[in-house]
Amino acid sequence: MDGWDFVSTSSTIMPDILLLKDVLHFSLEYDPLQAVEPYPFPRSQGSPLPFRTSFTCEEFRSFWNRERIAFQWVYCSEKNSRSFYLHSKIPDSPLPSFVRAPGMNAKGPGPGRLYDWTLKHECRQWDQGQQLTLNSDSVGQGCPVYIRMRKRVDEDRVEVEYHWEHNHSTEPKARSVFPLGPNELHWVRRMIQEGHEWKAIKKKLRPDEEHLQRVMSMVRTAMLFKLGCSLLML
């Protein structure tokens, strides 16, 4: 049948709607004291890349919540995702959704829109130009890891294309040579906004003097203009 199937108005099944916070490249639930393992799907070396699968919205939330904490990601501006990803500051806002009008063919309105939205995130260590001053074997450069996630129009499922094999160590120790990642930065911002003591924040984050210096430097730079100097005085 072309177009929509008839759905009874008495149906009580509500569609599972993904929100912006469900697809962000960092987690709003990040806690530096809580270790998170990557999502358990087969990661055997030599298996075809990228790994492709399809999740229900609920499965996708669980999957991505773990992957985005276990690894470090950056948002990749691709397709038209900038309009809803970078311009929206409301984590609870719903992602774009296109409704197929009754009577339209299976490809929907326009020249066959297949997806409500498409997003791509890359490993933070993908860029060869960014980290060349860090001379260590554990520091990957030009990492090929990316994930592309997209939702088909009229289907409550998320297709995932995941090139998951990093070319560097992903151990927390190796990560610590980098400045704070997006998970940590957003966590620090939240702690400060909630009125936590700066000393307590530092202690939780990385109880190591060298790293504390990085923390302070990063947070100062990132927040100076938003929250004012007084909050960051030590």
125 binds Zn ion (CB under 5 A): yes
Cis amide prior to 172 (ω within 30 degrees): no
- In 3D space, the residue among 12, 63, 57, 13 whose CA is nearest the CA of residue 151 turns out to be 57
Count of alpha carbons within 13 angstroms of residue 202, beta-carbon side: 18
> Which one, 112 or 142, has the nearer CB to Zn ion?
142
Interacting stretch for Zn ion, rule CB under 5 A, among 52-60, 82-90, 123-131, 203-211? 123-131
Out of 18, 119, 139, 145, the only residue in the binding site for Zn ion (CB under 5 A) is 145
At residue 157, φ and ψ (nearest 5 deg) are -135, 155
List beta partners, residue 159: 54, 150
Q: Give how far Cα 71 sits from Cα of 38, 55, 62, 169, 193, Å.
A: 8, 20, 15, 10, 25
> How far is the first Cα of the chain from the last one, in angstroms, to the nearest whole number?
66
> Which one, 55 or 178, has the nearer CB to Zn ion?
178
> Which one, 125 or 183, has the nearer CB to Zn ion?
125
Out of 95, 139, 143, 149, the only residue in the binding site for Zn ion (CB under 5 A) is 143
185 binds Zn ion (CB under 5 A): no
Interacting stretch for Zn ion, rule CB under 5 A, among 94-102, 149-157, 161-169, 225-233? 161-169
Out of 24, 123, 149, 180, the only residue in the binding site for Zn ion (CB under 5 A) is 123
- 185-207 in b/e form (b: 16+ CB < 10 A) is bbbbeebbeeeeebeebbeebbe
The minimum distance between CB 2 and Zn ion, in angstroms, equals: 44
The minimum distance between CB 55 and Zn ion, in angstroms, equals: 22
> Which one, 123 or 139, has the nearer CB to Zn ion?
123
Is the torsion defined by CA of 14, 154, 73, 138 positive or negative? positive
> Which one, 123 or 147, has the nearer CB to Zn ion?
123
Contacts with Zn ion, residue ranges (CB under 5 A): 123, 125, 143, 145, 166
